[in-house]
Amino acid sequence: MLLNASQASSLSKSSMCSDLSRLLLDIFVRFVHHQSECIVRSSLLGFLTSLLVTCASAQVAGFPTTDLSPLAPQLQRQQTESQLRGEQMPSDNVVRASQYHVGPGDVLVIQRLDALAQEEYATVTPENLVLIPRIGMIPVAGMTLDAVRDTIARLYRQRTPNIAVYIGLRRVRSVYVTVQGNVLFPGVYTVPASMRLMTLLRLAMQGNTPQQRTEPEMQRTVQRAFGQIADLTRDEQLLWRDYEFLPPASLRSIVVRHSDGSSEVVDGELALLQPDSPANPYVREGDVVIVPREQVLDQPRITIQGAVARPRTTVYRAGDRLSFLLKLGVGLLPESGAIWLVQGGERIPVRADAQMNLLSEDRELLPGAVVLVERVRPSVSNTGSVRIIGEVQRPGAYPIVQWKTRIREVIEEAGGFTDRAALGLAYILRREQDGSSTLVSPNPYLERLRRLQYTNLLPEDTLRFFIDELARRPLVACDFRACFERGSEDDNVALADGDVIVVPPSPQTVFVYGQVAKAGFVEYAPGKDAEYYIARAGGRTELADHGRERIIKGRNGLWVPLQETTVEPGDRIYVPHPPDEPLGTKLQRLSAYIGIAGGLSGLVFSILSLINFLRTR
């Protein structure tokens, strides 16, 4: 078996110590059984006794005997790997030894800086005991990692005071924690013991499995009940944007019941502000987390509003102070102005830095207290810029005066169009001007339903409306050909800040497809009609539905009959198949025809019978 340098060095030291011990013991036995009474024998016996005691002391003090069997290193490595084997769950933060409670399943690493300097692992047993090499079992129930570390180090110092010992947490255990109450996904969770309470509650609100996270009905429930604004209308966003992932009343009164019968009440607001502190405790095995079902409107509140990063309304708790409420706002926005505390009929000025650290007196808050951060509106500028992309001489960004600079001026400043520019396909993109960019994108389905709230459309029109809404693009109404070739002033539109002007290159082709012999691109020929391109594509097949062909315009996708428009580069010509009808529909139509024919024949027979009757009289 091959050994590396460190293994060979360790084995040589241990071998030398063991061989020396055996040699000294053999010499000692020989001298004891010798019959001579000489002074030399007595001196040698004393010397050998001293050597044996010294060797034994050295082994106890840090030179442990090593099994020289070639399987020993492999067995030790396998034992270490078995302790660390298994899937490791992700952790949400660094473990703080002063806050983390050691429990069954935690793996400790111990390193003694002796001659071998090897790492040894110790796993906490289900009885909350840990077996320390050459020390024995020690109880660790209810102890933090700092306390366990100090206890083990003290025991080693008592045994070998001259050898330094280092103890750490090699791997955290997994624990079962129950979440109950006002959460979307209550139940039992398997999480690492290094996870803190607020991270666990986020899992209970978002779902712990892909199936939970994709159920639309459950997602709508959490958004409505707990203030998630990602799928609400714009009005609901404005009303509920102050919510965190839990209602404020529930967030400030979270109860954690431990397996030993003790319990604690956690202030979730404080835990979110100080996520790495004892305010946001680690979970333990057997914990039951109870999120109360309370209504925020039934309790007094405190609020911070205005030019802050996170406007917030939460439930008032006795002892809340001004510094706490400021921290809920996270930070001041650049446009922030004076800060005021309004409570008890007073309006008190407040000083704070950009990180919302209080610089003035830290007052105790009263129920209903409000911190207002004034917003200084910047001076409005009418200047802006637009971008030009595509076939102009100098594409890029250009300054404009909003709603005054016209499209012709900007194109002229860009050097005009290139020879490859396709004016029939050019367009202008513009941002929505309803202020929605400051909010989370609303649910487009709900927004379309709101637009249909007072409609008088028929059901068939409603389907068409939804199709048009899905295909809607933020375009500016401008015909580039009319503007630049025919001098139309109506199409010489004024530009707004952020507009994007796109001038694509001319494709020089027309695409013909559907029921034609050779579907594909056909080279554009100026002045030719649609029949020319259909013929170039091999002509219509026998299955073509003549008369229903359409030209699909390249710029806006409109479907136009062949005789109502001219063909331009980038257009598409579609030759459809006759509508497919199920056999049942055909039979129903045939039955209707037969019924009509029967009715007509009966009517004719009745008329003839009447005429014949009148003649006979």
Over residues 49-76, the pLDDT tens digits come to 555 555 554 444 444 444 434 444 455 5
* pLDDT confidence tier of residue 239, bands split at 50, 70 and 90: very low
What was the pLDDT predicted at 386? 95
Which pLDDT tens digit goes with each residue over 338-390?
999 999 999 999 999 999 999 999 999 999 999 999 998 777 778 999 999 99
- What pLDDT is recorded for position 3? 39
| DSSP string computed for 526-579 | TT--HHHHHHHTT-B-TT--TT--EEE-TTT--EEEGGGS---TT-EEEEPPPP
Per-residue model confidence (pLDDT) at position 245: 62
The pLDDT, as a whole number, for residue 5 is 41
Both structure tokens of 376: 């200084």
* Cα dihedral 217/218/220/223 (nearest 10): 180
Q: Which two tokens stand for residue 252?
A: 């400030």
- 612 CA to centre of own chain: 88
CB 261 within 8 A of CB 226: no
538-593: pLDDT as tens digits: 999 998 988 899 999 988 888 999 988 889 899 999 999 988 777 777 788 888 88
Q: Residue 517: pLDDT above 90?
A: yes
Which pLDDT belongs to residue 513? 95
61, 162 Cβ separation under 8 angstroms: yes
The pLDDT confidence band at residue 413, using thresholds 50, 70 and 90, is very high
Task: Tell me the two tokens of residue 346.
Answer: 């007073």
Per-residue pLDDT at 447 exceeds 90: no
What digits encode the pLDDT tens for the residues 258-286? 998 899 999 988 998 888 899 999 999 99
359 CB-near residues (< 8 Å, 6+ apart):
351, 352, 353
503 vs 378 pLDDT, higher one: 503
Count of CB atoms within 10 A of residue 448's CB?
15
CA atoms lying within 13 Å on the CB side of residue 88: 12
pLDDT classification of 429: cutoffs 50, 70, 90: very high
The pLDDT > 90 percentage for the chain reads 42
Determine the pLDDT at residue 253.
Answer: 87
DSSP state of 495: P
Q: Which pLDDT score is estimated for 50?
A: 59
Instruction: Find the mean pLDDT for residues 77-83.
Output: 54
Give 63's contacts (C-beta < 8 A, 6+ positions apart): 13, 14, 17, 114, 115
Which residues, 6 or more positions from 534, have their beta carbon under 8 angstroms from its beta carbon?
A: 512, 516, 540, 549, 573, 575
CB atoms within 10 A of CB 175: 22
Residue position matching structure tokens 């690493």: 109
pLDDT at 303: 92
**pTM recorded for the entire structure:** 0.54
> Tokens representing 228?
């998630």
Mean pLDDT for the stretch of residues 314-334: 91
Distance CA 565, CA 533 (A): 14
Tokens 């707004």, residue located: 496
- How far is the CA of 29 from the CAs of 38, 41, 48, 66, in angstroms? 16, 12, 10, 25
pLDDT in tens, 112-122: 887 777 788 89
Using a pLDDT cut of 70, give the percent of the chain over it: 75
User: Higher pLDDT residue, 252 or 217?
Assistant: 252
3-state SS, one letter per residue, for 232-255: CCHHHHHHHCCCCCCCHHHHCCEE
Report the pLDDT value the prediction gives residue 70, as an integer from 0 to 100: 45
Of 60-74, 102-116, 154-168, 603-617, the least confident: 60-74
What's the confidence (pLDDT) of residue 13?
44
pLDDT tens column, 212-236? 444 454 455 545 444 443 444 445 4
